[in-house]
Chains A and B, each alone.
Chain A
Amino acid sequence: MLKDGIMIDIRNVTKTYGIGGQTVKAVDKVSFAMGTGEIVSIIGHSGSGKTTLLSLVGGLTKPDSGSVVIDGKDIWSMDDDSLSELRNRKISFIFQFSSLVPTLTALENIMLPTTFGNYGKDVEGYARELLGLVGLADKADSYPSQLSGGQQRRVAVARAFINRPEVVLADEPTGDLDEETEREVIELFKRMNRERKTAFLLVTHSSELAGQAGRQLRMSSGSVLPFINTVSHRER
């Protein structure tokens, strides 16, 4: 069951790519909905369309057909500026790859999304708090090249919360992390979910992270297979 009403509603979304003269359906007539504050995980083999689905949900790419509705608005009926504002205010991404800007320090990377909108005065204070939450308080002035892969991932995780998003779209967010750091990140996700009702759509291979999800979507060849309810697992 969905919590508190629908926040994201994907209907019959299809996305195809032309690769080497062939058309590949990355996402094929996918429909699902997410409630406010819900945690949903997506699992599936490599190339099954998980990352493309995340980008469709986040408005990074336009579907060939179908609709993506966030907070009651079809995002592809918006103009580009409004869609950018929506991404800046309500959505955050954690990408699978290194996504830090190499010329900015860890602290500046975290603050970066706030330069695209009007945020409060104490952005830096909150950025430092987030840096502390991912255990990198002493790395504020370090550049990405001075950080390990895991540390970079943690900075990216911290950045995802600077805009106090309604939903975090995360692609393997704990991929580079050791077990202890993975647990800290999961704790951060749970805390944000609990305190701010932040929703999470997680692509993950981590059973521990997937275990936090109320529901699991399984993708295969661009299609979503029936839901698996994992609430009982989480409660257990």
Chain B
Amino acid sequence: MKTGLNTFSIAVKNLRRKIIRTALLFLAVTVVTGTLFSATLFISSMRNALKIGTYRLGADVLVVPEKYVSEARTALLAGEPTSFYMDRAVYEKVKRVEGVKQASPQLFIKPASFTCCYSVDVFLIAFEPATDFTIAPWLEKNLKKPLSGDEIITGREVPLITGDTVPFFGTPFKVIGTMEPTGMKFFDRSAFMTMDAAYTMAANSKANSMQPIDLDRSRISAVLVRVQDGYTPDRVAIRLEHDIEGIKAIASDEIINTVRKQLGGLLKGILAVSAVLWILALLMMGFAFSMMVNERQRELGLLRAMGAKRGYIFRLIITEAVIISAAGGIAGLAGGSVLLLAFKGPILSSLKLPYLVPSATVLAELTAGALVFAMITGLLSSLLPAISASTMEPYAAIRKGE
């Protein structure tokens, strides 16, 4: 018959002995793991969203009017619809700047809600099919055709489906495709049309719309730039700003850096709190396990008298710590996730940042990492008490416990 008595079961029984102490240690690990996990997941999610966003943008540098740079950033990062224009001549100048491989103009148009019955803000983005390298490849890959003058494609959050017709500034457009979600409102809440269609729509708006739009063909909102091999976006951006007056060139890295700066304070705060919590948990667990070993000296001496090897005593103490930290780690993961879901909205809206859940792989790595971290915490905190317990002379341990 199987005994069912092994190191694990004995460790579990030992932990039940002082249930309040065990619960406190469990709670400490839960708080530390939960804080670290939710903070790491949060930051990773935002980085992920940024990466996808800038990838989707498909440009190394975005050239915008100098005085509208903050609107441009907000539009890119938070997807807030905005309208700003500059002279088309900027596009011609950009093409000639050293290091520029490709350039394509775009128009950003902020419309009112597009019909009586929808309240979602749709951001209109117009691109030039002949030079575009961001939307056109998607069209080629997914629809196998270019956009005609009365057609649009939409982001995933726009409440329209393929086949719908919707008017913008009095001009009806037919939806011929929906892009996959990106997590960035800039894309997910946008409708994409050709620049020619946008200019025509603007021209007709005076007659067709209650809210006409003042936009002629000499105006553009931004120029998207792809840099040549051997040039960095940063360098080209500096050169663009140097060579062309009245513009701001935002390198894709700079967009991330801006967010990083925004996140910096928050991140530092979270890390500092996490580090303090971790050290406290480590000290608390170390102290508790030292106490545990001290209280059980005679018992551990008895185990040695019965033939338990030093390694067994060491494993027993470590197993107890790892059980607490693994259980606390799992609870921390669950708690951290709940916490993140609960506070995600307010944090994001105050930071004006996009959010995208990381891929399953990254999520699995973060989860595994948090669990390993929790167990390492348990392991480290119990290491010294475990060494001390395992190296005690059996008779001395028995006598000290008397």
| Chain A residues proximal to chain B, CB less than 8 Å | 52, 55, 58, 60-62, 80-81, 84-85, 87-89, 92-93, 95, 97, 99, 101-104, 108, 111-117, 121-125, 159, 163
Contact = CB atoms under 8 A, between A and B. Distances in A.
Contact of B3 (A62, A80, A114): A114
A34 B63 CA distance: 97
A159 B305 CA distance: 12
Given A60-B394, A61-B394, A124-B1, A85 B14 contact: no
A113 B3 contact: no
Contacts of B309: 80-81, 84-85, 116
Given A60-B395, A116-B306, A117-B307, A123 B299 contact: no
Contacts of A87: 304-307
A contact patch SS: helix
Contacts of B402: 97
For the side of the interface on B, what is the size category?
Answer: 20 to 34
B362 to A, nearest CB: 42
Given A61-B393, A103-B13, A115-B6, A89 B302 contact: no
A205 B245 CA distance: 107
Given A61-B395, A102-B17, A111 B3 contact: yes
B3 A55 contact: no
Contacts of A113: 306-307
Q: Main secondary structure on chain B at its contact with chain A? A: helix
Interface string B275-311: 0000000000000000000000011011111111111
B231 interface: no
A207 to B, nearest CB: 27
Contacts of A125: 1
A22 B263 CA distance: 65
Interface string B1-40: 1110111001001101100000000000000000000000
A163 B308 CA distance: 13
Contacts of B302: 95, 99, 101
B55 interface: no
B294 to A, nearest CB: 16
Contact of B308 (A89, A93, A103, A116): A116
B272 interface: no
Contacts of A93: 305-306
Contacts of B393: 60-62
Given A60-B398, A81-B310, A124-B2, 17 more contacts: A52-B395, A58-B305, A60-B393, A60-B395, A61-B393, A80-B310, A84-B308, A102-B17, A108-B3, A114-B3, A115-B7, A116-B306, A116-B307, A124-B1, A124-B3, A159-B306, A163-B307
Contact of A89 (B2, B305, B307): B307
Which of A111, A115, A124 has the largest count of B CB atoms less than 10 A from its CB? A115
B396 interface: yes
